[in-house]
Chains A and B, each alone.
Chain A
Amino acid sequence: MLKCGDMLVSRWLRLRSLCNRVCPHTRREERKGLLWRRTLIGHQFTGTLASSRPCHSDVGDLYQNECIQRYLQQLMQEYRYICQRLELPHISEADRRALIKKHTELLPLADVFTDIEEALKDQQEVSSLLLGSVGAKDEDKQLTELLKEEEAQISCKVLTLRKNLVKALVPIDPLDSSNVLLEVMAGRTTGGDICQQFTREMFDMYRGYAWFKNWDFEVYNYTPAEYGGLHHAAVRIAGIDVYKHLKHEGGTHRVQRIPEVGLSSRMQRIHTGTMTVIVLPQPVELDLHIDPKDLRIDTFRSRGAGGQSVNTTDSAVRVVHLPTGTVAECQQSRSQLQNRDTAMRMLRARLYQSMMGEEIKHRQTVRKQQVGERSQSDRIRTYNFSQDRVTDHRTGHVARDIKEFMRGGGALDNLISDVLENEEKQALLELVENRGNGRDLTNPD
């Protein structure tokens, strides 16, 4: 998708290079056109865009934002100051260490910044050459073409660099690299069957996505409902940057479809249902001590005789943490020990959540936000089967071909990247504004 986007960007740049001045406003308009093509976003968001923040444009565009610029300039000033200080002969060892630390932090940013400035200088040169060649003779036409080509290339480079620069500014969520515990839960709103069927489909979608991303997908709990539906399932997804990609999946997902059977099916009546996704980060190192004495482990065997005198295939295990009443169950494996290990891991994740104090309290609010009121109002995404369309309500991203989308492949990945980019921008803007300097500035957009 990135490649395709780049291709379009460079194509657009070729067109763009015919004009000499880049007016931010028209540029925005064009970008919007581009995004529309890329993500099939409808036209409906153009109106809302005029409000305070650019909510759905490329990350690189943020570079134009004055707050960001100011922030960037500050950082560069700081960098230059540090460089100067470091050259002074008479600073204490402690100071030097602190400065070097700060220096290494800012170095990558400074590098990109210098690259941009150099690229801009090149661009200016090429532009002035181009200006000079306007109205030139036929034999110079080839040269003009070449110059245009070069300008386009440089602009493209500048844009990529800016993107990188802004990305380097985005605050990093320390939990991004964590594995997650993902839960799917059928909604209790109208149309129970619809909700359960949809929950099952969502479960399959995330399984497909884990496969697409080459992540491990380990089922911890799976409570099926009638007719192939799903009440609740918990899975552990492990791999590279799992939390980063899945953290914005938490929330209420809404489905709209005509049921496959029953009266509504014959009447072609559209039903609406919901399901909830909960995504909890599972820190890599769980520094959590659980006293075995606090656990009650229930198995088939605890209900009667065992050992050689019984042959059972019931390998389900339930672990109860007595002091907190936290429960975890697992029946996924044919090995009882594996089920117990899985249940224990699940329990640990849950206990970790409830034991880690303020930070967790905050995250629990996030969980609550994700669970919401389990009503249809705070949904994050709608899956409209009758119109074959998925709409994310935070970005306005629309994906067609719902069947393909629910496979959890590239289409879902596109949407997730889009949401992620959007969230990153919000986070950056928040950071910049919270620094106080940006607060009194009128938003340039």
Chain B
Amino acid sequence: SSPCLVTLWTLGVVQRGQFHSLHTCSPPALPVGRITALQALEFWKKHFEESGVTEPDLSSHYIVAHSLGGKTIESLEQRKLTEFLSREKTEQIWKLCTKRLSRMPVQYVIQEWDFRDLTLTMRPPVFIPRPETEELVELVLTDLKNKPSSGDTVQTCLEVGCGSGAVSLSLLSSCPQLQVVALDRSQEAVELTKENASRYTVVNKTDLNKHRADEACSRCSPVSVLVSNPPYLFSDDVKTLEPEILRFEDPFALDGGSDGLTVIKQILTVAPKILSDRGGIYLEVDPRHPPLIQQWVEANVAELRYVETRPDINSRSSNKSLLCLPPLYHYPCVNLRRRRGAAVITLLMCDIQAVLGEKKI
């Protein structure tokens, strides 16, 4: 009787293998005598520092806390930190920290992370959700709540590029009556989304078979909300990313082409065909993007109306004019809506494969 429905499609070919470049630092030997968790923390913090691993402090904290069954060091009992670690635990900590030494992100090392109120499994190379995206979800939820569903029709949401499922699952956990369709080009991502969905038992229908894009599209349209955290980095910037991202995360989830707009444009092209009459699009984009998107939409997609750009909290300030601060420092969510009264295009045979990144980026 559960009202929610998640349908998952997978499309496209999986690219794998190139993410784990074997970068081996000689791992430090296990301690000879018995040590406490606090000593392990200190040791690894120093070692990370010396090896140039970013966030040495937090990294050792999260890994040790995870090994002791907690999420943060603060949530652990003092006793657990001052007790001697068992040989097993010490070995586990050493194993995990050695992984971190290869610059593997902490989220992959401990294989889970929190997104809003959910704890999700994380696995390379599926993109690790960033805090800004929590804001994107907040934005969609606020709008969904302010806009009462028209009559008895169920509201449908399409997420393009679901990754670990963070956005879709958050939406579902807050709005159980929502119908969510989550798409990703990568098989790993869809599988991880399914896995995470079963963690919160929100899935009562999963479909992991490969579908034709148009079929997928017709099954979910019309959608009231199209949400996406598409790859939006400029190709030039991708090269300068930290090894945590560059070596471990799926480049298809990051690289948005020379202007970072490749996938965004694809989504916006398809959107009018699948959006319901008063549907909206919510995208997380690069700070340089909003004016570009606005211009491009006005010139190319008559059915869409650019609504607004909201900065994420990290750039929120006491002064409104500060919104135009060096844009590098805020990651806005773009909100587009279907123009009211615009002609409904009945073409359902849309090129959603483009949206899913089949076109070469």
Interface residues, chain A, with chain B CB atoms under 8 Å away: 200-201, 204, 219, 222, 224, 228, 292-297, 299, 301-302, 304-315, 322, 331-338, 340
Contacts and interface: CB of A to CB of B under 8 A. Distances in A.
Contacts of B131: 299, 301, 306, 315, 335-337
A335 B117 contact: yes
B282 interface: no
B105 to A, nearest CB: 5
A305 B245 CA distance: 14
A228 B38 contact: yes
A306 B232 CA distance: 12
Contact of A334 (B113, B253, B315, B319): B113
A314 B62 CA distance: 10
B114 A338 contact: yes
Contacts of A335: 114-117, 131, 134
A316 to B, nearest CB: 9
Given A301-B131, A335-B114, A335-B117, A311 B245 contact: yes
23 contacts: A204-B78, A224-B74, A228-B38, A295-B318, A297-B313, A299-B314, A307-B286, A307-B331, A308-B130, A308-B233, A308-B245, A309-B233, A309-B237, A310-B245, A313-B55, A313-B59, A313-B107, A332-B72, A332-B75, A336-B131, A337-B116, A337-B134, A338-B116
Contacts of A306: 130-132, 312, 314, 329-331
Contacts of B127: 308
A322 B231 contact: no
Nearest to B74: A222
B116 A314 contact: no
Contacts of B304: none
Given A308-B130, A309-B233, A313-B55, A302 B314 contact: yes
B172 interface: no
A322 B286 contact: no
B206 to A, nearest CB: 25
Contacts of A333: 71-72, 114
B81 interface: yes
A346 to B, nearest CB: 15
B135 interface: yes
Contact of B314 (A293, A297, A322): A297
A130 B349 CA distance: 100
A331 to B, nearest CB: 8
A293, A297, A306, A307 — most chain B CB neighbours (10 Å):
A307
A235 B191 CA distance: 38
A281 B242 CA distance: 46
B267 to A, nearest CB: 16
A200 B78 contact: yes
A296 B134 contact: no
A302 B322 CA distance: 13
Contacts of A307: 130, 132, 232, 284, 286, 331
Nearest to B248: A311
Contact of B329 (A201, A292, A304, A336): A304
B89 interface: no
B326 to A, nearest CB: 10
Interface in B191-242: 229, 231-233, 237, 241-242
B314 A332 contact: no
A337 B318 contact: no
A311 B114 contact: no
Contacts of B313: 297, 299, 340
A183 to B, nearest CB: 15
B244 A311 contact: yes
Contacts of B135: 337
A337 B232 CA distance: 22
Nearest to B73: A224
B72 A305 contact: no
Contacts of A322: 318
Nearest to A230: B78
Given A295-B318, A304-B329, A310 B130 contact: yes
Contacts of B237: 309
Contacts of B130: 306-308, 310-311
A204 B77 contact: yes
B15 interface: no
Interface in B78-116: 78, 81-82, 105-107, 113-116
A311 B134 contact: no
A134 to B, nearest CB: 63
B164 to A, nearest CB: 13
Nearest to B38: A228
B259 interface: no
A193 B117 CA distance: 36
Nearest to B319: A293
Contacts of B106: 313
B78 A310 contact: no
Contacts of B232: 307-308
Interface in B115-130: 115-117, 127-128, 130
A200 B114 CA distance: 26
B55 A308 contact: no
B62 A313 contact: yes
Given A307-B130, A336-B131, 6 more contacts: A293-B320, A301-B132, A313-B62, A313-B106, A334-B62, A335-B115
B340 interface: no
Contact of B231 (A222, A305, A308, A340): A308
B138 interface: yes
A163 B319 CA distance: 60
A296 B78 CA distance: 33
Contacts of B278: none
Contacts of A292: 316
A314 B54 CA distance: 11
Nearest to A317: B313
Contact of A308 (B117, B254, B330): B254
Interface string B297-333: 0000000000000001111111110000000111100
A309 B285 CA distance: 11
Contacts of B117: 335, 338
A193 to B, nearest CB: 14
A228 B318 contact: no
B154 interface: no
Nearest to B230: A308
Contact of A228 (B75, B81, B134, B331): B81
Nearest to B286: A307
Nearest to A298: B314
B58 interface: yes
The 5 tightest CB contacts between A and B, nearest first, are A336-B131, A337-B134, A334-B114, A301-B314, A307-B331
A311 B314 contact: no
